[in-house]
Amino acid sequence: MILLLATFASLMLSTALILAGHGLSSTLIPLRADLAGFGDLQIGLISSSFYIGFVIGCVFGPFLILRAGHIRAFAALVSLMSGAALLHPILLDPLAWALFRVITGLCFAGILLVVESWLNDQATNENRGTVMSLYIICYLGATMGGQLMVVGFDISTFVPFAIASIFVSIAVVPVALTKAVQPAPITLVRFRPINLYQTSAVALIGCLLIGLANSSMWALAPLYAKQIGYSTNEAAYFAAAIVLGGAITQWPIGRLSDRVDRRIIILLLGFTAAAASLLLFILESGNFWGTFTIFLMLGMASQPTYAIVAAHAFDYVEAEDYVETSSGVLMSNGIGSMIGPTLAAGLMYSIGPEGLFVWVALVEVALALFVISRLFIRPADEALEKTDFEYGATSNMGAVLTPDPLDIEDPYVIPPEEFPAYEQEEEEEPSEETDDLPNRNDEGENPPTTDETQDNSRFPSG
């Protein structure tokens, strides 16, 4: 284990630093926007803008990496993300902040692509599960740590934005100084929503609804807490409770879904999340531990749903379609995330801060009712051989996939043809020691291999 950690130490350290800065800024921005007098709808638009940028980054991030290479693309994206964090306190304007969040989301998606494709490329089939588990622990832990850092700062000052920028900026150092060989160029996969709907309607519609609800909670929960009378510090604790709740239940609920129809689990999670949301709607403000407990329950019910939906989709596809399926569920989730915070903010504007959890409850109930309808349309198949739940293959953290190869003859798979960042490497003649390596053909080119193709599910090209 120690040797394995040492192998990926630089990437994990960079990831932790970026996520700490991202967690801090994501909690800070809605609170600071409220303090600056921005309206609820404006704050919702700012929150949605991050996911707009994220989806754009999913689409165009691979092309940046093909042009510049993993290390240089990582450095450029980190620098841009760091600069965007510093611009918020300099220019207090809602439209400007929305633009800054688009830039941040774009950079964040590209950074995750670099990190996750690198991890997948360096991992082996024997240790991939362990590596991805460590990565997910790092993701959740660093994000919660960043959220809780808000507790130590006066959000009316420049300092917390500067700290978030510093965390992101220094994340480039471990990657820039690494001796590890950067991964080979990646392969792109198209997003086919109609095909996904025909394969698993629950996967496509479910992930869209999950994006509508979860993005609203992540973005606006601190604002809700602040508006009903809690302090900035308490708002940060509530935001972290959602992530913590998801971390607690993710694995046991996933394993339970291996034993029963996963749609039943999704149904129960949807109704439970709706019930927790309604409790927040009716709960009297001022009871910190009662509110914290409900936030924790909401996270426990809402956060594992994406992974269960993704696992359900994988149950109905062949191994060679895993990449395309993962692309579909993640893009559907991203589209929902783009819309959710703005609509939730509209309800907060109309009926007060409690409108956030009215919105979440409505979406969760809609998810549960849709799943019920699908249970009648497609009854459970007792003979279905399920894919064992593996969070590393179903996480919406990024492009974590099973290591099954793509068929490059498939018209919906687009193998890259030109790699400016790798031309020099391709022109080099293979040495005698590497003539027999399986990842080079007679012309010295690098055709897509198992590990090179398995990390691109989230990046459609058309």
| Dist. CA 252–CA 447, nearest whole Å | 39
- For residue range 400-435, what is the model confidence (pLDDT) as tens digits? 343 344 455 555 455 555 445 545 444 544 444 444
Residues recorded for the chain? 462
Q: What pLDDT does 192 receive?
A: 76
> CB of 96 within 8 A of CB of 87?
yes
Using CA atoms, how far residue 312 sits from 64, 81, 164, 239, 426, in Å, is: 32, 35, 37, 28, 40
Query: Torsions phi, psi of 432, nearest 5?
Result: -60, -35
Of 321, 179, 308, 191, which is closest to residue 251 (Cα–Cα)? 308
- For residue range 191-244, what is the model confidence (pLDDT) as tens digits? 777 877 887 888 889 999 999 999 999 999 999 999 998 998 999 999 999 999
**pLDDT higher than 50, residue 180:** yes
**pLDDT higher than 60, residue 44:** yes
DSSP assignment of 219-278 equals HHHHHHHHHTT--HHHHHHHHHHHHHHHHHHHHHHHHHHTTS-HHHHHHHHHHHHHHHHH
> CB of 142 within 8 A of CB of 23?
yes
At residue 398, the 3 state secondary structure works out as coil
**pLDDT higher than 60, residue 368:** yes
Q: What pLDDT does 175 receive?
A: 82
| Phi-psi label, residue 210: left if phi above 0, alpha if psi -120 to 50, beta otherwise | alpha
pTM for the model? 0.79
- For residue range 16-40, what is the model confidence (pLDDT) as tens digits? 999 999 999 999 999 999 999 999 9
In terms of average pLDDT, the best of 169-178, 238-247, 435-444 is 238-247
**pLDDT higher than 90, residue 106:** yes
Sequence-separated (6 or more) residues with CB below 8 Å from residue 430: 437, 440, 444
Q: What sections of 283-321 are H helices per DSSP?
A: 288-302, 305-315
Q: What pLDDT does 2 receive?
A: 57
Sequence-separated (6 or more) residues with CB below 8 Å from residue 346: 40, 41, 44, 355
Q: Which of 397 and 347 is assigned the larger pLDDT? A: 347
Of 129, 198, 127, which is closest to residue 388 (Cα–Cα)? 129
Task: Determine which of 102-106, 210-214, 215-219, 280-284 has the lowest per-residue pLDDT on average.
Answer: 280-284
Structure tokens at 309: 């939906």
Q: What pLDDT does 371 receive?
A: 93
> CB of 365 within 8 A of CB of 270?
yes
The percentage of the chain sitting over the pLDDT mark of 70, rounded to a whole number, equals 74
The CATH architecture that domain 8-380+387-394 belongs to is Up-down Bundle (1.20)
Mean pLDDT score across all residues of the chain: 80
Structure tokens at 83: 């600069």
Q: What pLDDT does 407 receive?
A: 53
Domain boundaries, the chain: 8-380+387-394
The three state secondary structure string of 314-373 is HHCCCHHHHHHHHHHHHHHHHHHHHHHHHHHHHHHHHHCCCHHHHHHHHHHHHHHHHHHH
Residue burial 217-234, b: 16+ Cβ < 10 Å; e: rest: bbbbbbbbbbbbebebeb
Q: What pLDDT does 323 receive?
A: 65
* DSSP 8-state assignment for residue 436: T
Structure tokens at 394: 């179903």
Mean pLDDT on 287-314: 89
Q: Within 13 Å of residue 282, how many CA atoms lie on the same side as its CB?
A: 6
Per-residue confidence at 5, pLDDT binned at 50, 70, 90? low
| Dist. CA 96–CA 112, nearest whole Å | 24
User: For residue 413, what are the β-bridge partners?
Assistant: 189
| Dist. CA 58–CA 79, nearest whole Å | 18
**pLDDT higher than 90, residue 90:** yes
Structure tokens at 171: 């994340």
Structure tokens at 441: 């053909």
| Dist. CA 164–CA 170, nearest whole Å | 10
Using CA atoms, how far residue 263 sits from 24, 194, 276, 386, 443, in Å, is: 35, 20, 20, 13, 49
Q: Within 13 Å of residue 178, how many CA atoms lie on the same side as its CB?
A: 25
* Burial status of residue 349 (CB atoms within 10 A of its CB: 0-12, 13-18, 19 or more): middle
Q: What pLDDT does 461 receive?
A: 33
User: For residue 414, what are the β-bridge partners?
Assistant: 188
